[in-house]
Structure 1
Amino acid sequence: MVSPWKIGYCVVCVGIIVYGIWDYLSNFQKNKCLMTYMFEMPEYIQIPLGKRLKEKYPRYRLFIYGEGQYARKLESNRKVPVNGVPVLFIPGNAGSYRQARSLASVAHRRANDKRYSFHFNYYTIDFNEELSALFGGMLQSQTEFVHECVKKILSLYEYNKPSSVVLVGHSMGGMIARALFTLPEFEQSFVNTIITQATPHQAPVISLDRMIATYYNSVNNYWRTHSNTTLKHVTVISTGGGFRDVLVRNELTSLRGITDPDLSISTSTMSVPNAWVSTDHLCAVWCKQMVMLTKRAMFDIIDPATLQVTINTDERMNVFKHHFLSNPGTKKIPDYWKVEIQLYEEIPWVVKKEKTWEFAKKRVAEDYYYAVPMDQEGVNSFVAISNVDLQDWICICKLERNEERCKTCKSLSQKGKIIPTFDSYRKIIHIDYKDYPEMTHVVLIITAAPTQVEVMGDSYNKDYRHLSYKLPSVPDIVMTYPESVTKGVSVLTLYNDSLFYNLQLKGLDSVLRAYTAQLVPKHCTSKKDLHEGNMMSLHVPWSQEDVYSFSRVNEIGNLSIKLQSLASPMEDTNESVELRIYIDPTCSYQLKIIAAPTESLGQFIRFYGGLFPSFMLAILLMGLVFQLHQIRRERKCADIIEAISSFGAPYKILPVVVIFRFILNNESFEALITSFGLPQEDSRELTKSGLYSAALPLMLYIISLGVVNVHCYLLIMALHIFSKVAAVLFRWIPSLLFTFFEKIKVLLLTLAILTSCILCGSLGIIISYICFVIQLARLCHLTRVSNNGNIATKFNFGVTILLIFLWVVVLSFPASISWAKNLRYTFILLDDSNKLMSVLSVLSISCLIVLDNPISARESYLYLAPGVYVVNVLLLLYGMVSVYRIIYAVTSVLLGLAVTRIIYYLKNGQHIDIEQEKSD
């Protein structure tokens, strides 16, 4: 009888996972991306690559994009008449060459409409929609094919011959773009600009394949080593999709520590000026806001003298910073900023002595200069918001004695920053008076306009607006439950005559902490028809991942307070996350901080979900160790649930792991390990990202323990149901035919071995797994009709092996999909890094199916059980992040079990007596 406490514990653990997955997959802002539309039919014209490349890469193709008359012109000529700027789109995991349409179409339309003297030629690659993020065997061939495409593209030009190709990579396509430079024969001057969309640069999303891990190490190590030498001419832009991208979290898209920060930009689409949207993984290629600003940036990096991409890296970086990081409020990057602005006497000079003021009109008939004195008592800072469509809209001046107004002023417009909403071109600027001790006035320039104009200013003292707040900790939330997660804590009352507040959030030092900031309007002194609305922004000082929330005047504003990445070590440990609030100065508000436990669970799944497989398998292996000891001592075997209850406690494995982890991370031992070429243990990777803590393994183990219990129970129930259904369906079969079925089983196992050796290792694993399931279903039926303890032992032990072997099936399954997708090209899966492990797994499981009596070799379990325990320790040290090593652990355990049985049967000259088993 299972205790209620254990049932409750399992329900809680499964609930944590289920609620976390639900929040992770659903709790984000709705898709605010606009669609990109076309006015002519898109066409993809294949470019012939020659017989050699066609034979070497039969699965891949190269296309050039066209539409309308341009496409017909391309098709009517055998030799492609290209004379524009070449851009190559590289699709990612399961990506299509047609994903280049949005960027290519907008570029084509913009060049025609604006009548530029140049245009872009968009090329796109068909990778047969291969699963490059799950199976690393094709990454090298894809990289080499892109190299051939770059050379082919440059050879197509006769006039205005370009020297480089712009690479745009989506998802894994971005990694392939960077991997080009690792090829020995690649001419590195062929590429000087790389734009990546939702590309996991730091590490694979999940390392299911050793070749993926090797590929990443090779590419990233090359870029770290050569960023300031052979790669100093290359600029790289990386954008992550924010919270909507549930496939690639934003932290992985960062180029931190990989590229030269002076030659690269890493940001989130949620932070990109005039976009401010979160994009899912596929939306990244067609989201209009991102497509438009990407194309503006690409048009701006063209050198008007050569009509090709400028070779000046500083110019390219200035353009990309303008469009992707800090746009001061201009649609196009200015050719220059005025140092000094002439102030005309005929324009009215309006002195605003009020500390907070607003200018709002539906249309403005004449120009104004609004002058704000800087010598007001108790004031040391100024903030202004303006939507005036003017490049130079704010300046600072020194009013001379006996003068009524300034004649010139120093421009500060380039220090402004555009803020939501989309296409409103509202700009904001913060001015610290101590930086300009000789100046007397801030001047805001308002020009005549037929559209609505709103300008607001606020002179304030930093001591009263720059505040600090310590976020409630977990004990605080528990103590004040349920108010902490329903009504929240009232942090601050924002009174009238205030435009801006800055709140430093202390304690937001973990990705697991999540809250909601709620801005509640209370009272307005006047009706606000012209006010744009309120804005909150979460500023993370160690990354370009600011998050914005916009709400109308009378609406409640909500902003999620949680991290997309955690820098470690931080550049400045005194820096804190800041909540910046911009409100209507004629209204009062209440700011609340509400604990968000479900979002914390979503963060837990987002950052740590990929670590669960190793802990779940470790618990199963602990159960196997108990069963091996029990069989050796008592000649019987408890079921896996009882075995885990008896020997699966965390204190029986984690302290040993902690000791070995301490030893491996010791400097002297680390040097010794490195000298032997052994890898570092996996917690080091988590530590670099700031994600590791001493309590993390225990937390993952405890949750996995409950989940594994439920998993085991469900699998056993499924086997019972399957065996009952099979017994009803096949009860008409004569008993003599079971001998024939046993021979078929041997044939299937032989087929699995041959398949894994010749065609695809994963395919053989699947066949042998099916055979194992059928055998266990038959044993399950025999346990119901017979009281034979030997059969019960076989079944219980077989269930454990099935659960362990299931992880090999799951982790190798992408390889079988890749094999199936490429059947029309080849029957053999090439570059299968798990081929040896697959063959050994199939051989081992075949032996365990045929030699299915675990009691026979029980004497050898005295040595095998400690061996499994050691494998388990190594698994938790080296397989936590590197999930592909799970296959090595499982294969070694299965191989050990198979070898012990083979040795026993060879030594004793015994064989399986099928008829005797049937009589039992």
Structure 2
Amino acid sequence: MVSPGKIGYCLVCVGIIVYGIWDYLSNFEQNKCLMTYMFEMPEYIQLPLGKRLKENYPRYRLFIYGEGQYARKLESKRKVPVNGVPVLFIPGNAGSYRQARSLASVAHRRANDKRFSFHFNYFTIDFNEELSALYGGMLQSQTEFVHECVKKILSLYESNKPTSVVLVGHSMGGMIARALFTLPEFDQNSVNTIITQATPHQAPVISLDRMIATYYSRVNNYWRTHSNTTLKHVTVVSTGGGYRDVLVRNELTSLRGIADPDLSISTSTMSVPNAWVSTDHLCAVWCKQMVMLTKRAMFDIIDPATLQVTINTNERMNVFKHHFLSNPGTKKIPEYWRDEILLYEEIPWVVKKEKTWEFAKKRVLEDYYYAVPMDLEDVNSFVAISNVDLQDWICICKIERNEERCKTCKSLSQKGKIIPPFDSYRKIIHIDYKDYPEMTHVVLIITSGPNQVRTGLNQVRTGPNQVEVMGDSYNKDYRHLSYKLPSVPDILMTYPESVTKGVSVLTLYNDSLFYNLQLKGLDSVLRAYTAKLVPKHCTSNKDLHEGNMMSLHVPWSQEDVYSFSRLNEIGNLSIKLQSLASPVEDNNESVELRIYKDPTCSYQLKIIASPTESLGQFIRFYGKLFPSFMLAIVLMGLVFQLHQIRRERKCPDIIEAIASFGAPFKILPVVVIFRFILNNESFEGLITRFGLPQEDGRELTKSGLYSATLPLMLYIISLGVVNVHCYLLIMALNIISKVAAVLFGWIPSLLFTFCEKIKVILLILAILTSCILCGSLGIIISYICFVLQLARLCHLARVLKHRNDTTKFNLGVTILLIYLWVVALSFPASISWAKNMRYTFILPDDSNKLMSVLSVLSISCLVVLDNPISARESYLYVAPAVYVVNVLLLLYGMVSLYRIVYAVTSVLLGLAVTRMVYYFKHGQHIDIGQDKSD
């Protein structure tokens, strides 16, 4: 009987997984993306590719996008008339060519409405919605087809002939865009701009087969080694979706360590200026905020002389930085910034000697210069927020002796930064007085409302009617604070207040606009908190203010997170990391919580521990590591079962076996020792020399995700989950056997013998299918046969209570649990096979065919030769071999999940070979349909 303590332990482990998955899949902001609308019907005109390409790539097609009159024009011509800027959209995993609509439609409408002298021709590829992220056998053919499409697109142009194509890749489409450069016949100059959306550049989201891992390794190694040669003309932009993208976490979309940082940009849609939204994996292609700024950037990189993408990489990078990283408040990148601004005498000069002040009016009838003295007592910094829609809105100057005001000033507007909410025109700037020792005043320019006369600066205000300008002169010692976040013991000691009322409270008083809180101790992705900004008392008219903003600034990545709240609302901001790839030189930098509040209001800042978000982070970063640990625990149970069969001629059930031999100290110390040896410098050189793979812990270490306690934590949680899994599987087999006994109990035994022969026929079919058509399909057929075999054994063990039947059943359950991982990991390949049946009955590039055939053969042998006691003497050698495979699994299969198939296949093959050797050695006759006993 299972003890209550063990039941509680198992439920806790399952609860950790369930709550973590729930938080991961649901605990994020609502979708704030606006829709992109159309005024005419979209049409996709298929382009002829020629007989050769049709034969080589029958599954793929190339389209050009059109709508309305433009589409009629494209369809009416025998040869497609194109004379614009070519853009090729590459869909990703299970992606559709129709996903190009949003970008293409906005580009078409903008070119028509703004009457540009150029336009964009959008091409898009149909990959038959293949699962390229789950089955790597499609990636190389997709890459080669894109290469042919690039050549085809450039050949269509007769006038204004371009030399390059802009590539826009969603998901795996971004990897394919970068993989083009690894093709030996690819013209490197035919692509100079790549924009990727939610593309996992760093590594596959999940490595289900060897071909995906090989593809990534080849592409990323090429980009690392050729960034200053064949890739020095290519600029790349990569955006991740933030918390809402539960398929590709933001860390994987970074180009850090892959592309030249001077030629690449990696950011999150949550950080992109004038977007500030988290996008799910599909929303990335249609989110209006991102579509609009992406198109603005693409329009801005066009050279007016050639009407094609500029070949100047610095110009392209400046445009991309403006739109994707740090926008000072202008939609279009300015042609130049004024060094000096002329200040007109007729505009009033208003000196603001208060340290904190505001200017808020619904309508401004005249222009002002608000001058802030820099010599205020105990002040060394200044922060300002303004929604005045001018390119030059703030400057700094020196009042000469015997003068009352400045005549000119030096513009600082380019150092400003646009802030939420969306389309509010709000900009912020921080000025450190020590950088300008000769200056005396900061000048903020306030203009009259829209549709009125031009200001003295010869600029027209087009922003919101309501004008809001705030300034705050302060001493950094009082506003730049440091706070050490509470650790897990601190949270437990103050529970439940730590997760309800907050682990810390900071009062933000009136007469302050800005606070900067350095968060010490946020050094793990598992630590999660929530910042709450609670309003207490306000003395001003709330209708004149936009609201408050909090931002989480991560200094080692472009992943700042923003939260905006109205004055009467409680502001909430999640404090957790999207990545931990901070290099050594960044170790002294801390994450910062920046707060911009109404200076006429007081607030309480609460930082609350968030255990559920910590569990969500755990699943986000470590969820894919569980399969190898869960399998390792089952294999430890198998080792014990084999020893018991050899010694006592009986097999305990898997739950008992795991309880006896599944303790973490029986395998993890061995794994740790081998990991230490493999990471030793001398062995590392030997491994490199022989071309052997690095153990998976190194990849986690590079990402900052590995710790000494990680394997133990994963093992302990997996242990509880596996126990529940085993119990549910045994219960399911019992139910199936009982239902089958009721439904088919009347069938004569002779017919049962015939069914047993049918089972063998199905196994032969599985072997032939895995050899010829698709390895994964054969695995599924053999798995079904094995489940039926176990259901029958369950019935025999329950009714006849024969010890041999019980042994067969108990060992069979363990084998079923092991084989289940092969089925799960190879299942995407069977889906790819089904999707391509109308083109070919044979799965292209089936990299796991050999392992699949060996697995099916092994299972077939174990089904037919179903007496495990017969070969018990050989378990003296098989059991240690399984243990060695288990150690290798935890070394090389944590991240590279496709190696799980190798581990399981080797175990099944070992069991099958021992039984075959026994039967052939003793010359026993295999009688199908009868129960064989020792």
TM range (shorter): over 0.9
In the alignment, which residue of structure 2 is the partner of 1:317?
A: 317
Q: 1: distance between equivalents of 2:930 and 2:605?
A: 77
Q: Secondary structure at the match of 1:122?
A: strand
Q: Secondary structure at the match of 1:484?
A: helix
In the alignment, which residue of structure 1 is the partner of 2:395?
A: 395
Question: Residues 441 and 915 (structure 1 numbering): CA distance in 2 closer, same or farther, change over 3 Å?
Answer: closer
Confirm or deny: 8 A CA contact 1:490 1:590 kept in the other structure: no
Q: 1: distance between equivalents of 2:804 and 2:838?
A: 48
Deviations 1:484-516 (A, max 9, x none): 001113331000000000000000000000000
Q: 2: distance between equivalents of 1:763 and 1:194?
A: 37
In structure 2, stretches of 5+ residues that fail to align are: 449-462
Q: 2: distance between equivalents of 1:48 and 1:291?
A: 29
Confirm or deny: 8 A CA contact 2:556 2:582 kept in the other structure: no
Q: How far did residue 450 of structure 1 move?
A: 7.5
Confirm or deny: 8 A CA contact 2:864 2:928 kept in the other structure: no
Q: How far did residue 863 of structure 1 move?
A: 0.5
Question: Residues 445 and 871 (structure 1 numbering): CA distance in 2 closer, same or farther, change over 3 Å?
Answer: same
Q: 1: distance between equivalents of 2:191 and 2:777?
A: 40
Q: How far did residue 728 of structure 1 move?
A: 1.0
Q: 1: distance between equivalents of 2:366 and 2:189?
A: 53
Deviations 1:177-197 (A, max 9, x none): 000000000000000000000
1:401-800 equivalence runs, <5 A: 401-448=401-448, 451-800=465-814
**Which of 806, 813, 819 is residue 833 of structure 2 equivalent to?**
819
Confirm or deny: 8 A CA contact 1:339 1:410 kept in the other structure: yes
Deviations 1:543-575 (A, max 9, x none): 000000000011100000000000243432210
Q: 1: distance between equivalents of 2:427 and 2:661?
A: 63
Q: Secondary structure at the match of 1:140?
A: helix
Confirm or deny: 8 A CA contact 1:568 1:688 kept in the other structure: no
Confirm or deny: 8 A CA contact 1:515 1:593 kept in the other structure: yes
Q: How far did residue 913 of structure 1 move?
A: 4.2
Deviations 1:60-87 (A, max 9, x none): 0000000000000000001000000000
Deviations 1:300-320 (A, max 9, x none): 000000000000000000000
Deviations 1:816-845 (A, max 9, x none): 000000000000001011000000000000
Q: Secondary structure at the match of 2:142?
A: helix
1:6-25 equivalence runs, <5 A: 6-25=6-25
Q: 1: distance between equivalents of 2:427 and 2:865?
A: 76
Deviations 1:191-228 (A, max 9, x none): 00000000000000010010000000000000000011
Q: Secondary structure at the match of 1:396?
A: strand
Confirm or deny: 8 A CA contact 1:620 1:800 kept in the other structure: yes
Confirm or deny: 8 A CA contact 2:753 2:930 kept in the other structure: no
In structure 1, stretches of 5+ residues that fail to align are: none
Q: 2: distance between equivalents of 1:913 and 1:475?
A: 64
Q: How far did residue 765 of structure 1 move?
A: 0.3
Q: 2: distance between equivalents of 1:787 and 1:472?
A: 58
Q: 2: distance between equivalents of 1:45 and 1:570?
A: 52
Q: How far did residue 428 of structure 1 move?
A: 0.1
Confirm or deny: 8 A CA contact 2:538 2:602 kept in the other structure: yes
Q: 2: distance between equivalents of 1:371 and 1:807?
A: 70
Return the TM-score normalized by structure 2: 0.98
Q: 2: distance between equivalents of 1:891 and 1:284?
A: 39
Question: Residues 450 and 177 (structure 1 numbering): CA distance in 2 closer, same or farther, change over 3 Å?
Answer: closer
Q: 2: distance between equivalents of 1:884 and 1:509?
A: 31
Q: Secondary structure at the match of 2:251?
A: helix
Q: 2: distance between equivalents of 1:888 and 1:464?
A: 60
Q: Secondary structure at the match of 1:917?
A: coil
Q: How far did residue 718 of structure 1 move?
A: 0.5
Q: Secondary structure at the match of 1:391?
A: coil
Question: Residues 694 and 450 (structure 1 numbering): CA distance in 2 closer, same or farther, change over 3 Å?
Answer: closer
Deviations 1:575-607 (A, max 9, x none): 000000000000000000000000000000000
Q: Secondary structure at the match of 1:316?
A: helix
Q: Secondary structure at the match of 1:726?
A: helix
Confirm or deny: 8 A CA contact 1:363 1:450 kept in the other structure: no
Confirm or deny: 8 A CA contact 2:644 2:651 kept in the other structure: yes
Q: Secondary structure at the match of 1:400?
A: coil
Confirm or deny: 8 A CA contact 1:364 1:450 kept in the other structure: no
Q: 1: distance between equivalents of 2:248 and 2:801?
A: 52
Q: Secondary structure at the match of 2:658?
A: helix
Q: How far did residue 229 of structure 1 move?
A: 1.1
Deviations 1:751-774 (A, max 9, x none): 000000000000000000000000
User: Which segment drifts farther, 293-302 or 742-751?
Assistant: 742-751
Deviations 1:595-622 (A, max 9, x none): 0000000000000000000000000000
Question: Residues 760 and 915 (structure 1 numbering): CA distance in 2 closer, same or farther, change over 3 Å?
Answer: closer
Q: How far did residue 526 of structure 1 move?
A: 2.4
Q: 2: distance between equivalents of 1:568 and 1:397?
A: 39
Q: How far did residue 299 of structure 1 move?
A: 0.2
Q: How far did residue 721 of structure 1 move?
A: 0.5
Q: How far did residue 806 of structure 1 move?
A: 0.4
Q: Secondary structure at the match of 1:916?
A: coil
Q: Secondary structure at the match of 2:749?
A: coil
Confirm or deny: 8 A CA contact 2:861 2:912 kept in the other structure: yes
Confirm or deny: 8 A CA contact 2:639 2:883 kept in the other structure: yes
Q: 1: distance between equivalents of 2:189 and 2:924?
A: 69
Q: 2: distance between equivalents of 1:48 and 1:243?
A: 41
Q: 2: distance between equivalents of 1:860 and 1:304?
A: 78
Q: 2: distance between equivalents of 1:526 and 1:252?
A: 45
Q: Percent identity?
A: 91
Confirm or deny: 8 A CA contact 2:756 2:929 kept in the other structure: no
Question: Residues 369 and 875 (structure 1 numbering): CA distance in 2 closer, same or farther, change over 3 Å?
Answer: same
Confirm or deny: 8 A CA contact 1:720 1:780 kept in the other structure: yes
Q: How far did residue 736 of structure 1 move?
A: 1.0
Q: 2: distance between equivalents of 1:182 and 1:728?
A: 61
Q: How far did residue 689 of structure 1 move?
A: 0.3
Question: Residues 568 and 366 (structure 1 numbering): CA distance in 2 closer, same or farther, change over 3 Å?
Answer: closer
Question: Residues 897 and 345 (structure 1 numbering): CA distance in 2 closer, same or farther, change over 3 Å?
Answer: same
Deviations 1:747-795 (A, max 9, x none): 1110000000000000000000000000000000001111210000000
Confirm or deny: 8 A CA contact 1:395 1:412 kept in the other structure: yes
Q: 1: distance between equivalents of 2:306 and 2:524?
A: 49
Q: How far did residue 363 of structure 1 move?
A: 1.0
User: Which segment drifts farther, 720-729 or 136-145?
Assistant: 720-729
User: Which segment drifts farther, 562-571 or 34-43?
Assistant: 562-571
Q: 1: distance between equivalents of 2:933 and 2:344?
A: 108
Q: Secondary structure at the match of 1:914?
A: coil
Deviations 1:106-142 (A, max 9, x none): 0000000000000000000000000000000010000
In the alignment, which residue of structure 1 is the partner of 2:909?
A: 895
Return the TM-score normalized by structure 1: 0.99
Q: 2: distance between equivalents of 1:434 and 1:604?
A: 44
Confirm or deny: 8 A CA contact 1:542 1:571 kept in the other structure: no
Confirm or deny: 8 A CA contact 2:866 2:932 kept in the other structure: no
Q: 2: distance between equivalents of 1:757 and 1:79?
A: 45
Q: How far did residue 855 of structure 1 move?
A: 0.4
Q: Secondary structure at the match of 2:579?
A: coil
Question: Residues 246 and 450 (structure 1 numbering): CA distance in 2 closer, same or farther, change over 3 Å?
Answer: closer
Q: How far did residue 916 of structure 1 move?
A: 5.3
Q: How far did residue 918 of structure 1 move?
A: 8.2
Deviations 1:666-690 (A, max 9, x none): 0001101111110000000000000
Confirm or deny: 8 A CA contact 1:568 1:687 kept in the other structure: no
Q: 2: distance between equivalents of 1:888 and 1:569?
A: 34
Confirm or deny: 8 A CA contact 2:547 2:564 kept in the other structure: yes
Q: Secondary structure at the match of 1:677?
A: coil
Confirm or deny: 8 A CA contact 1:542 1:570 kept in the other structure: no
